[in-house]
Structure formats: C-alpha cells, structure tokens
Amino acid sequence: MWWPGRRGSHSPFDVVAVGPGGVRLIQVKRVKFGRIRVTVEAALEELRQVPKLPGVSREIWVWVDGDGWVVQEAV
C-alpha cells in the first residue's frame, strides 16, 4: 500500500516484468556515487530470500547519480 510520505520499497522487488523470455523480479534503487557496493549487496541479499524458480530472474537495478545504471542478477 502507498500513501504520501512513505518512502522506499517494503518488498523484495519493485517490478515484475513478464515476457516471452520469462519473468524478471526487479528491485530498483537510487544512490549517490560511492555507495554502490553497500546498496547492491543489501538488495541482493533481500532478493536471495525469494525462492529461485525456473524461468525467473531476480535482479537489482541501481541508478547511480551521475553515472547511470548498474544491473546485477542474484544467483
């Protein structure tokens, strides 16, 4: 549930993308330059709590201010 003033995600993933290639569970973050590793590792650990199923990828997409996207799959 969303309401004004609530910030951040409260689930392991923010986006569910479904297509011919399978299902993608994606956690999206935004960070300032320099905090990439901590953010990615914390999000990957959270995504690893979601069972790995055939045809389903678990991904973290981090927008780094001034640098662009960093994308990594939880394996």
Delimit the domains of the chain by residue range: 15-73
pLDDT tens digit sequence for 53-69: 999 999 999 999 988 99
Q: Is the pLDDT of residue 37 over 50?
A: yes
Quote the DSSP letter at residue 12: S
Q: What burial letters (b/e) apply to 12-50, b meaning 16+ CB within 10 Å?
A: bbeeeeeeeeeebbbbebebeeeeeeebbeebbebbeee
Q: Is the pLDDT of residue 6 over 90?
A: no
Task: Tell me the mean pLDDT in the region 17-44.
Answer: 89
Q: Is the pLDDT of residue 45 over 80?
A: yes
**Amino acid present at 33:** F
Q: How far apart are CA 25 and CA 33, in angstroms?
A: 24
Task: Provide the percentage of residues in the chain whose pLDDT is more than 70.
Answer: 87
